[in-house]
Structure 1
Amino acid sequence: MLNKIKGALFGFAIGDALGGTTEFLTKEAVKERYGQVREIIGGGVWRLEKGETTDDTAMTLAVGRGILKNPQNPVSAIGEEFLKWNASKPKDIGNIIQTVFEIYEGNWFEASKKAHFHYLNEKSAGNGSLMRCLPVALAYKDAKKVEEITKLQSKMSHYDVLAEEACVIYNRIAFHILQGMPLREAITNNITGSIYEEALKGKTPACPPDGFVVNTMRWVLYWLLKEDTFLGVVMGAANEGYDSDTVAAIAGGLAGLQFGFEELPNDYCQVLLPKNELEQLALELDHFFKGE
């Protein structure tokens, strides 16, 4: 179990670090500038240090820590972790989340709703809650609890139901992989009958891999179904450009969960700057999941 949980968190962060180099570039610009990004090198729009990750990993760690502080009702604890992270003046905060932070007055759900209707022109279907939801599926044994907390953590900042739906489907897939179901079977079972069922045909998505949550999820599923190796998944997503850190991170989380930490390339794991925090969270989630 620890191998899977640790694989998910490190796989996520590797995707984030690889994609952070190419974020906001087009696929053509990535090719022109780098040829192909195959190593964690930093740089990019955020001038990342080698091994540095972005808001995707930071908020994922925040969700995991919040759950462990108050597992039955973690919203306020997750929120405290969000505020702590925001106070650290991070390089990168998504527009929707930044808006919610600015108008937050003690109730995350009110801030989320207000942001959606009064500040974001009813456009809060970004991928910011999808990028951080994975720890929910790694923490709880009960599928209903996973779904409940997944929805709540999404609604804390993203009012649009499309964001919530993507998070639920993603964490259902993660939950089933953690229970031993193969990744492809878990994907098939959980996207059949949904707006993402088209991904099973294996065609390249007819949309950019941008910050719209539906587009992000389509590209995540594409890479997971197209590639048979962990590095194939995260490198494919990273070299596609656009919101590449988030797509590669989200896809890398499920790929890492499937393959397990022991199958991940050690040099990629060791270069990650937050490796100690990832290791600690993995250990604590493993203890919690086992009821220790």
Structure 2
Amino acid sequence: MKNPIKSVLFGVAVGDALGVPVEFKSREYLKQNPLTDMIGYGTHNQPAGTWSDDSSLTFCLAEMLCQKYDLQLLSRNFLSWYNDNFWTPHGVVFDIGIATSSAMYSLSKGSAPTLAGGTGEESNGNGSLMRILPIIFYIKDLEIDQRFQVVRDVSSLTHAHIRSVIACFIYTEMALQLLEGYNKWEAFKNMQNIVIEFFNNNAICSQNELDKFHRILEDNSNHRYKLSTINELYESEIASSGYVLDTLEASLWCLFKANSYEETVLMAVNLGKDTDTTGAVAGGLAGLLYGFDSIPKKWINSLAKKDDIFELCDRFAKKYPTWI
């Protein structure tokens, strides 16, 4: 695979920026007024190419990994974003989730990173899923129990409930399969087998909690679940809210239904509601699947701080030279 680091960072940022102007728009509105290109203003009154906290926190994670894996450093990066506009597109934080904001307060008061995120069921927004993807370059050669623990710790800075952790784990395991060069169908089946075996062998959570992911983790070999797998669902069965499970399902669904990076992210954004995050999460996977060169150049050139993102990719690649 060529340029997987660029594929991830730009894949996330472009999907995010496409969704920012139409965030909170309904699916019905977008069917009447479909997004077909990078536009500006709209919901947040930002210029075209403006990415949100999804990309900001993704870049903060990448910055940490450029130095070393250190949750205290990641916490400082997050607080620099929150308080001092570090890795913001135009020098201001304009969009932040409630759970993330609460976690920033906890971190600022000296909370341990893994204890800062919310643990209640109401804390299962998509705020850790949207920023987790760069961690795959750090965990790729670790054993699965170590991979899970790293993902759990990184998610827990803002979202510590096991449901958010499982969503991030499924997402990163799917991404690792794409990083290895498998097509989307092979990657998905491999991910299912890996994740199901891991949870069968480790008492991480209740079966009731794991069953919430049945549309993703259905094991076709024994037909344990009665409902269809995610790729067989109709659009009307796919939600696109800020709930972490909705975002994960919508992103995978778009990856399966589309046949290019461009088609994937436009499909994701046009689902409506939490458009920037669905675009970012789907865009990261689509970037890995189709490669950096598949991302339309006009969209890359429209991005705020494009040159800074390229420079971050270069620094990241020096730390992880296997994935230049």
TM > 0.5 between the two?
yes
SS at match of 2:48: coil
CA distance change for structure 1 residues 136 and 37 in 2, over 3 Å: closer, same or farther? same
Paired residues for 1:144-183 under 5 Å: 144=143, 145-183=146-184
Q: Which residue matches 2:277?
A: 246
Equivalent AA in structure 2 for residue 68 of structure 1: C
Deviation of the 1:43 alpha carbon: 1.5
2:141 maps to 142
> CA RMSD of the aligned region, Å?
2.0
Cα contact 1:15–1:251 (8 A) shared by 2: yes
When residues 177 and 85 of structure 1 are mapped into structure 2, their CA distance, relative to the original with a 3 A threshold, is same
The code of the aligned residue for 2:137 comes to: L
1:24-74 per-residue CA deviation (whole Å, 9 max, x = no partner) reads: 110122344xx2211111222211111110010000000111122222xx2
Q: Distance in 1 between matches of 2:282 and 2:292?
A: 15
Greater Cα offset, 142-151 or 155-164:
142-151
Corresponding residue of 1:233: 264
Q: Tell me the SS of whatever aligns to 2:131.
A: coil
- Displacement, 1:242? 0.5
Tell me the residue number matched to 2:34: 36
Aligned to 1:187: 188
Do the aligned partners of 1:20 and 1:54 also contact (CA within 8 Å) in 2? yes
Could you tell me how far 1:247 is from its partner in structure 2?
0.6
Task: Classify 1:14/1:70 alpha carbon distance in 2 versus 1 (closer, same or farther; 3 Å).
Answer: same
Q: What letter is aligned with 2:122?
A: K
Listed as ranges, the matches of 1:266-277 within 5 Å are 266-277=297-308
Seq. identity, %: 30
**TM-score, normalised relative to structure 2:** 0.81
The structure 2 residue matched to 1:91, chosen from 81, 88, 94, is: 94
Matched, 1:129 2:128: yes
SS at 1:123's partner residue? helix
Mark the CA change 1:191 to 1:242 in structure 2 (over 3 Å): closer, same or farther.
farther
Q: Deviations over 1:131-177 (max 9, x none)?
A: 00000013344143543322111011112101100111111111121
- CA, structure 1 residues 143+187, in 2 after alignment: closer, same or farther (shift >3 Å)? farther
> Structure 1 residues 103-112 or 130-139, which shifts more?
103-112
How much has 1:6 moved relative to structure 2?
A: 0.7
Q: Which runs of 5+ in 1 are unaligned?
A: none
Paired residue type of 1:126? G
1:14-93 to structure 2, matched below 5 A, reads: 14-32=14-32, 35-71=33-69, 74-87=70-83, 88=85, 89-93=92-96
Aligned amino acid, residue 22 of structure 1: V
How far apart, in 1, do the equivalents of 2:21 and 2:29 lie? 12
Structure 1 residues 148 and 109, CA, compared in 2 at 3 Å: closer, same or farther? closer
What TM-score do the two structures reach when normalised by structure 1? 0.90
Relative to structure 1, the CA distance from residue 205 to residue 155 in structure 2 (aligned partners, 3 Å threshold; closer, same or farther) is: farther
State the alpha-carbon separation in 1 of the partners of residues 292 and 116 from structure 2: 37
CA distance in 2, matches of 1:7, 1:252: 9
Alignment CA distance shift 1:109-1:13 (3 Å): same
- Pick one of 216, 222, 228 that aligns with 2:253: 222
The separation in 2 between residues aligned to 1:191 and 1:199, in whole angstroms, is 12
Q: Is the 8 A contact 1:19 1:245 kept in 2?
A: yes
Structure 2: which 5+ residue stretches go unaligned?
86-91, 197-212, 218-228
- The 2-side partners of 1:177 and 1:213 are apart by 21
Aligned residues: 282
Residue type at the aligned position of 2:15: G
Secondary structure, counterpart of 1:273 in structure 2? coil
Higher relative contact order (CA 8 A, sep 6+): 1
Deviations 1:161-196 (A, max 9, x none): 011001111111111211222222112221355531
